[in-house]
Amino acid sequence: MDLSGKLQTGDFVVLAEIMPPKGTAVEPMMAAAAQLSGHVDALVVTDMSGAMMRMSALGAAALLQKNATDTVLEMGCRDRNRLALQADLLAASAHGITNLLVGKAEDLARGDHHQAKPVFDLQPLDLLDAVRSLQQGRDMAGGELSGSPRFLVGAAVGDVFLPRALPAEVDEIHRMADRGAAYFVTPPLFDMESIRPLLQKVKGEGLKIIPTVLLLKSVGMARYIAAHIDRIRIPPEVIERIQNAEDAAQECIRIAAQTISRLREEGFSGALLSMLGWEARVQEVVGTEETAFGGGTAATHRERARKEEAMSKRKRILVVDDEPDFVSVVRTNLEKAGFTVETAFDGMEALRKIEKDPPDAIVLDVMMPEKDGYSVCATLKADKRFSGIPVLLLTAVAEHVTSTRYTHYDGMVMEADDYLAKPASAEQIIDRLNRLL
């Protein structure tokens, strides 16, 4: 049964995001699709998510569709005018793509092309009107088509977890439903109470709500999102669960799996998985049927005992930052707290020192010459020799993202073990290191 049939019969559907490549090498995308195959009902091909330049969603979806993969084509209004949007809709239909998701465009200032200009010839409601017109055999200018597309159309919704924005969002949901939207995808959900006000507003209307389930990778990623992405609410207890877990990555998997179980139990129409490179672990997410929220008490005690034993030994910390005064202050305070401290002033120097003599933990700034902190962290986490070294990432990127090459997407997908926004005090850094070690 296809996606439309499953939604109509009330089956719980599982979708998964997949990102087109930043380049022409499609093999990693195809491999990720193969890992997801058999575990999800369709792949949502994102349309330059995070305002990051990538292969077009249409091109990627056509490749996946050719490989007998059921796809949902995301389409936003930021980057194309009405001519291009209608042309892409017709091309999608010709490639056998029958599912659409009208997406919410992210601010270009948060992406990797800060000089790009937004188009917004159409808004999402206009795009839904355009889809309906094409399906009725006419373009937006009234011209007759030689063959009409057929789509199952969904729509992404915005700040539905923010009380001040909810009335306007509910009004837009109603207008999108009137224009043919058959299901609605919410931002990532970590707290069931966050979505209750929305459910109360649309109670009894039969709307099909599909929350996004974002797979966290680390406590650092969770802290970054909680601090800087307003539309996503991550409760403190979720961050604490990851922080106290013996295996943080496994705890992130468990949180996602439990969220899906709750969505099934509470009658939602489905879930959209955002795996962010962990597609190989999809079976753990969709196949784990755990419903109890909260970590195990015995495991928590074991973890605390392990940390206390570890802290009884003198640990060696590598502080990496291109500001000598900051490094000096942090070094002095860490040494007073009983740590042995080494320093590096750029990413390449840090990697050389780690290669020569790996430290027990790393305090790592993002905005540095030679090699930035995100790249250093990614290099370490991809190397089995160093992936277990805790990384505390420090950054003021979120406040300067519009004037730098760094993006919110970089912050959201980082695999650092913890995160602190600058300015960070020595006391905060010491507290986080004590938690990590």
Asked if residue 318 lies in contact with residue 343, where contact means CB atoms within 8 angstroms, the answer is yes
Average pLDDT for the chain: 89
Number of neighbours of residue 20 by Cβ within 10 angstroms: 22
Percent of the chain with pLDDT over 90: 71
- The model's pTM is 0.78
What are the CA-CA distances from residue 152 to residues 81, 390, 395 (Å)? Answer: 22, 45, 42
Delimit the domains of the chain by residue range.
3-297, 313-436
Query: For the ranges 308-312, 349-353, 417-421, which has the lowest average pLDDT?
Result: 308-312
pLDDT score at 397: 57
pLDDT band (50, 70, 90) for residue 419: confident
Beta pairing, strands 270-274 & 361-365:
unpaired
Number of neighbours of residue 236 by Cβ within 10 angstroms: 9
Written as six digits, the tokens of 420 are 């602190």
Crossing angle of helices 248-265 and 236-244, rounded to 10°: 140
**Separation of CA 287 from chain center:** 21
Asked if residue 134 lies in contact with residue 181, where contact means CB atoms within 8 angstroms, the answer is no
More confident residue, 437 or 92: 92
d(CA 155, CA 178): 12
Helix, strand, coil percentages in the chain from 3-state DSSP, rounded to 5 = 45, 15, 40
Q: Which fold has domain 3-297?
A: TIM Barrel (3.20.20)
Closest-CA residue to 148 (of 138, 158, 156):
138
Place of tokens 């209750």: 196
Radius of gyration of the chain (CA): 23
d(CA 432, CA 102): 41
pLDDT score at 172: 97
Number of neighbours of residue 169 by Cβ within 10 angstroms: 19
Name the strand (E) or helix (H) holding 342. Answer: strand 340-344
**Mean pLDDT for the stretch of residues 403-412:** 57
**Mean pLDDT for the stretch of residues 8-15:** 95
CATH class of 313-436: alpha beta
Sheet holding 316-320, edge to edge: 340-344, 316-320, 361-365, 391-395, 418-421
pLDDT score at 261: 94
Task: Spell out the long-range contacts of 114-118 with Cβ–Cβ below 8 A and sequence spacing 24 or more.
Answer: 114/402, 114/403, 116/51, 118/78, 118/79
| 3-state class (DSSP) for residue 211 | strand
Taking only the tens place, the pLDDT of each residue in 13-49 is 999 999 999 999 999 999 999 999 999 999 999 999 8
More confident residue, 229 or 142: 142
